[in-house]
Amino acid sequence: MRLKTMTHTLGLGLAMFALWLLLSGHYTPLLLSFGVASCALIVLIAARLDVIDHEAVPLHLSFGYFGYLAWLGKEIAKSNWDVAKIVLDPKLPISPTMVWVPATQRTDVGKVIYANSITLTPGTVSVEIEHDRILVHAITREAAEGLESGDMDRRVDQIEAR
């Protein structure tokens, strides 16, 4: 337990310093030491707030996430095209639907990934989250049915399981 907290603290510090290096672009000893100091200060504050855990430092999310991102990108492109067609259609062919969609993820992080993915694909927006289901507003009935098939739900389950 203690070791895990140490890993998370170290991971947070290293990730922040890497970010600092990428954003700064100045690599003189003085500025580098300022960078180290500011990262250490923030890690200290985070530790005092007691927010360093697996949610703040998701080291356990594996590379399966990237495969999911690629799939999600494809879905986003497809649904973007659908919604763009609807907006540009003079008749505005919408059929707004609201449905409860089951969310079978075990952890909160999994549910957040699922709900964010739903919102990120245009055409469906997650409106409310309860412990095992999500209220979704879809712009067309087809979009709602596509979500109800549970394909995305399963894929999020998979990256969570790894």
**Whose Cβ is closer to other proteins: residue 22's or residue 30's?**
22
What's the full length of the chain, in residues? 162
Three-class SS state of 101 = strand
For other proteins, the closer CB: 6 or 51: 51
- Residue 21 contacts by C-beta under 8 Å, 6 or more apart in sequence? 27, 35
Q: How far apart are CA 38 and CA 92, in angstroms?
A: 52
Q: What is the dihedral of CA 119, 96, 89, 121, to 10 degrees?
A: 10
Smallest separation, CB 107 to other proteins (Å): 17
- CA angle (10 as vertex; 6, 15 as ends), nearest 5: 150
In the complex with other proteins, the residue whose CB is nearer, 5 or 96, is: 96
Report d(CA 105, CA 89) in Å as an integer.
Answer: 37
- Closer residue to other proteins (CB): 7 or 119: 119
CB of residue 46 vs other proteins: minimum separation in angstroms?
A: 17
CB nearer to other proteins: pick between 96 and 150:
96
* Residues in contact with 55: Cβ distance below 8 Å, sequence separation at least 6, in sequence order: 108, 109
**Rounded to an integer, what distance in angstroms lies between the CA atom of residue 144 and that of residue 82?**
13
CB of residue 57 to other proteins, shortest distance in Å: 15
Least separation in angstroms between CB 58 and other proteins? 12
The nearest distance, CB 98 to other proteins, in angstroms, is 5
Query: Which residues of the chain form contacts with other proteins (CB under 8 A)?
Result: 19, 22-23, 25, 76-77, 80, 83-84, 86-88, 92, 94-100, 115-117, 119-128, 130, 133, 135, 137, 139
